[in-house]
Structure 1
Amino acid sequence: MVDPGGRSLGRLSDVIVRLRGADYPVVTGLVVGVGGRELFVPVEQVAALDAEGLVALETARLDLRPFGRREGEVLLRADVLGHRLIDVGEARLVRAQDVELAERDDGQWLLSGVDTHRPHRLLGIFGDRSTEHACRDWKVFEPLIGHSRSALVRRPTARIRRLRPAEIADLLEDASRDEEREILGDVRQDPELEADVFEELEEDRASRLLNARTDEEIAAVLARMRADDAADAIDDLRQGRRRTVLDLLPAGQRAKVLTLMGFNPASAGGLMGMDFLALPPDTTVSEAEAAVRRANRLQPEALTSVYTGDEDGRLLGWVRLVTILQSDPGLRLAEVSEADPVRVGPDTDLVDVALLMTDYNLITLPVVDDEGVLLGVITVDDVLEATLPEDWRRREVAPPPDAHRTAEAGGITDSAEAGSVTGTAAEAGGARGPEAREEPSP
């Protein structure tokens, strides 16, 4: 770092950016080492910043108070370079090896891109690299910074919530404890998504995460989960907590969970979900369509079929949803449904369930008691999950052939005329100071 006359003043330690929700982070200043002290230099005082690592200041006057990070500030070397980020486009954890800063026409510097390729040699921030890689758009990534006050700023617009629950569960399986805590902090902003993620987690991981929470927090998650997954989760809780958590569940969910806990997990009763749509046989096709539209809280997979039953809940018939959509709206369900449907009892084992669903090309299979009362429905995804070998569950699946066409989010509209400046991660950590910093004096 040099003054207007070219004389050396100190050495660059870090670059500070401020998070701005879904927009690109903006550079607000630098952390510089001067005489063994870490000082803050506002970006307005920087006359030039180039790819060779030279920082030229407009004035030699410096604020000599120690640097301290403010809320929402991110230090590129300390927090990003060498740390892991979530690649939202590919739903995986990657490590940031390099960052790219772009200068807009108005002179404002933005954090525009990240390079996740490991360079052949590490020379330090703004140093030359032996191999160049194209940086990808910053908006494709979600940083895992570990700074709690910065995390709070990011959470309202966290990109991780674009991912599917199964993808987030995979991230958690690969995350460290600190990364896991930050990912879950973002996911908890959407309680429905959080419940879906817990449904997808491996049992040991879900059990550990739930047991770390209070009884009230566990019940809040289980209340939004499918009853069969909630029953499995309660079984995995410590013995002394099960009854308390059950008592905290809403009455309807508690009744479903207690019913399911009475069955062998590997039986039809243990596999079934208790969300299904059963209507009287004289219901018209148009009324059935309306009932499906209203059933927005039921598991979508269970709505691929509609069942008919009598006043006592005994199963009479079933009809595929596609048949309903293709039938005359004035017809009754009794006229379009199949009588004497394939069904099983709650004690039927997994192998028989799988054979029946395969033989009859079923997406759902009803479960009835000795009186023929419909207890629940097994969906094909439940059977696949139960039959898939344990060592295949977290196998990395090849991406689809058109994955390369997926557009990355966002784009810099005011591109830099003078190019961009990049830096590689060379040293662990970075400048740290007091939690609060006063405004620099004039």
Structure 2
Amino acid sequence: MGKIFVAQLLGLPVFGPDGESIGRIRDLVAGLRPDGSAPRVLGVVIEVATRRRIFVPMLRVASIDANAVTLATGSVNLRHFHQRPNEVLVVGQLLDARVAVVDSGARAEVVDTAMEQTRTRDWVLARVAIRERTGRLGRRGPITVLGWSDIRSPGITELAGAPQAADQLLAVFDTMRAADVASALQDLPLKRRYEVADALDDERLADVIEELPEEDQKVLLAHLDDERAADVLEAMDPDDAADLLAELSELDKNRLLELMEPEESAPVRRLLEYSFDTAGGLMTPEPIVLTPDAPISEALARVRNPDLPPALASMVFVCRPPTATPTGRYLGCVHIQRLLREPPFDLVAGAVDRELALLRPTDSLVEVTRYFATYNLVCAPVVDDEEHLLGAVTVDDVLDHLLPENWREREGADRA
């Protein structure tokens, strides 16, 4: 195995000696040396199927190629990875770190690093790809690959304290699902989490915050200035925004609601009127709603929206105008399987299921759970006593509340 750039490793599948799937590479762990010599790569961070990240020492890595990483014979410690004080995450912390070129003193940022195996079979970060910052405005120069000894590298203390851009780390995150980015953020030092949050656009940050544990959500939201926090809340699904705001003090909650645009805060305010463990508190106020004279083709176009969660796309609700919740009189729903069987120019009114039982906003979590189990659905209408559609509950929202409160949180056990 020769020189391997870290960017080539990220996301590669990891297999055991018998070909069994272990997970995917998410980062490398290195030890920075006091004398500034090339850091030794201590191991890899692997994300297993449950989204837990585990540490595997480099001694357990049997082979690395362009398509996969294979581990040597032996057991894998499945305890959650916990970074030690003398260690650095190559992707999470070294990328975007500020360095200086020894010969010229030029300022630069780390774009990538490459590891090589020494005669003693240790892996070290022997090479580093940098991009120089030139001129008073810090314009970006070309990428140059240098030996580790050709740069004045940051130390653990500098990485923990100096401000750092997040361009390269965001380039890595750009290929990952929001849930996986949230998982990665939990392994980063708090300073680095803030830098990533500052660099993400509002829509992406909103998606990531929705996947974080409750306490981490509050910490990141508190880091943002009030104007941006309100913008991020607007970009979140209303039910997730309501859940997060419900955990804040009355003062903070009301301040952020006032900063949100009225059309964005209105559905969130309605959701906050219900207890979190009722159908009203669980529902999203933005299901697919059509009038009875809409054609099947329009319904199909709406459910094809790639930004729509699969559970919410499984059902179209038919109501009298207005179609924004709370709607006019609720008439029924059309299941996606029925839409696929009907001629596209027929009206949705001819495919409406008028017999499906309804949820009321005050129904308890137990009643909502029983409803889903009874009807084998992944989405259900929530209708008030005046027959207005208020929103829809999806099965993933139910699972979020059935699982233990800390199910998104990481285990703090150290590795052996």
Provide the TM-score with structure 1 as the length reference: 0.57
1:380 aligned residue (389, 395, 410)? 395
Among 349, 371, 380, which residue is 2:364 paired with?
Answer: 349
Instruction: Note the aligned Cα RMSD (angstroms).
Output: 4.1
State the distance in 2 between where 1:79 and 1:211 align.
39
CA 1:330 to 1:261, structure 2 compared with 1: closer, same or farther past 3 Å?
same
The question of whether the paired residues in 1 share the 8 Å contact of 2:275 and 2:281 is answered with yes
1:219 equivalenced with 2:233 (yes/no): no
Contact 1:263–1:347, Cα closer than 8 Å, also in 2: yes
Q: Is the Cα contact below 8 Å between 2:217 and 2:244 reproduced in 1?
A: yes
Q: Which has the higher mean CA deviation after the structures are superposed, 236-245 or 176-185?
A: 176-185
Contact 1:21 1:154 in 2 (8 A): no
Instruction: List runs of 5+ in structure 2 lacking aligned partners.
Output: 10-30, 54-80, 92-110, 130-153, 322-326, 412-416
* 1:216 positional shift: 0.6
> How many residues matched?
298
Instruction: Give SS of 1:197's match.
Output: helix
User: Partner of 2:165: helix, strand, or coil?
Assistant: helix
Query: What residue number does 2:340 align with?
Result: 325
SS in 1 for 2:174: helix
- Contact 2:280–2:362 (CA under 8 A) maintained in structure 1: yes
CA drift at 1:249: 0.9
1:248 maps to 2:263? no
Partner of residue 81, structure 1: 39
Query: Which residue does the alignment assign to 1:301?
Result: 311
Report which structure shows greater RCO (CA 8 Å, sep ≥6).
1
Q: Percent identity?
A: 32
- Change over 3 Å in CA distance of 1:339–1:159 after alignment to 2: same
2:354 pairs with 1:339: yes
Unaligned runs of 5+ in 1: 1-19, 25-74, 100-109, 116-125, 397-442
State the distance in 1 between where 2:360 and 2:333 align.
17
Q: Could you tell me how far apart the structure 1 residues matched to 2:234 and 2:44 are? A: 29
Q: Do 1:226 and 1:273's aligned partners in 2 also have CA atoms closer than 8 Å?
A: yes
2:188 aligned with 1:175, yes or no?
Answer: yes
Residue in 1 that maps onto 2:168 = 154
Q: How far apart in 2 are the matches of 1:207 and 1:382?
A: 19
**How far apart are 1:151 and its partner, in Å?**
2.5
CA contact (8 A) 1:277 1:306 kept: yes
Summarize the Cα distance change of 1:148–1:279 in structure 2 as closer, same or farther, 3 Å threshold.
Answer: same
User: Which of structures 1 and 2 has the bigger CA Rg?
Assistant: 1
Shift of 1:220: 1.2
TM-score under structure 2 normalisation? 0.61
Compute the displacement of 1:84 (Å).
Answer: 9.8
Q: How does 1:21-420 map to 2 (within 5 A)?
A: 81=39, 92=53, 113-114=114-115, 129=120, 132=122, 151=165, 154=168, 158-185=171-198, 188-293=199-304, 299-311=309-321, 313-390=328-405, 392-394=407-409
Deviation at 1:351, TM superposition (A): 0.8
Partners in 2 of 1:153 and 1:252 — Cα distance? 33
